[in-house]
Amino acid sequence: MKFASVRIIAADIGSMVAFYEMVTGIKAQWLAPVFAEIVMPGATLAIGAVETIALWQEGSAAPAANRSLVIELQVEDIQSDYARLKDSVVLVHELKTMPWGNTTFQVRDPEGNAVSLYMPASEDAKRRFASRSA
């Protein structure tokens, strides 16, 4: 099995796509007016407009309703990304090193989803991520 993507259902797909393009530096691929993907090494972030819910089952998802999932993006230079984004996003917390060895900061996207950018900082964290294939 291959983990392929995470999909966010958005009330305002335009602002959500613009936010993730700004954070990742990657231009979205619009596959339909109601669906875009930001393709990154390892996985894809898919963003679907609220209208796409009816393609599955009405009421099976809702925009701006998540409080249990954090989107995590591994970066090469956490200090640089923090400096670049801190004045353009809603910060949940500033830079800190977590007990498992990653230095991170967390923001909220335009619809309230938590997004953490992180970089392995401790030697154990660096070894752990070096052993994972892309």
Same domain, 56 and 102: no
Same domain, 21 and 56: yes
Same domain, 90 and 37: no
CATH assignment of the domain containing 126: 3.10.180.10
If you average pLDDT over residues 24-47, what whole number do you get? 96
* pLDDT of amino acid 56: 83
Same domain, 10 and 54: yes
* Max Cα–Cα distance, the chain, nearest Å: 47
Cα distances (angstroms) measured from residue 128 to each of 102, 119, 123: 11, 12, 9
Same domain, 72 and 56: no
Write out the E strands in the chain.
5-10, 29-32, 35-40, 43-49, 70-74, 90-97, 102-108, 114-120
Q: What are phi and psi of 83, to 5 degrees?
A: -60, -40
pTM: 0.91
Proportion of the chain in helix, strand, coil states, percent, rounded to 5: 25, 35, 35
* More confident: 134 or 121: 121
Q: Residue 23 pLDDT more than 90?
A: yes
Pairwise CA distance, residues 96 & 99, whole Å: 10
Same domain, 42 and 89: no
Show which of 50, 65, 80 is a domain's final residue. 65
If you average pLDDT over residues 6-33, what whole number do you get? 97
Q: Residue 97 pLDDT more than 80?
A: yes
Q: Residue 63 pLDDT more than 70?
A: yes
* pLDDT of amino acid 133: 61
Q: Of 17, 36, 108, 32, nearest to 67 (Cα)?
A: 108
| Mean pLDDT across the chain | 94
| Domains held by the chain: number | 2
Q: How confident is the model at residue 54 (pLDDT cuts 50, 70, 90)?
A: confident
Burial of 84-104, coded b for 16+ CB within 10 Å and e otherwise, reads ebeeebeeeeebeeeeebbbb
Pairwise CA distance, residues 86 & 92, whole Å: 10
Same domain, 1 and 32: yes
Same domain, 54 and 76: no
If you average pLDDT over residues 13-37, what whole number do you get? 97
Can you give the residue range of the structural domain that contains 72? Answer: 68-134
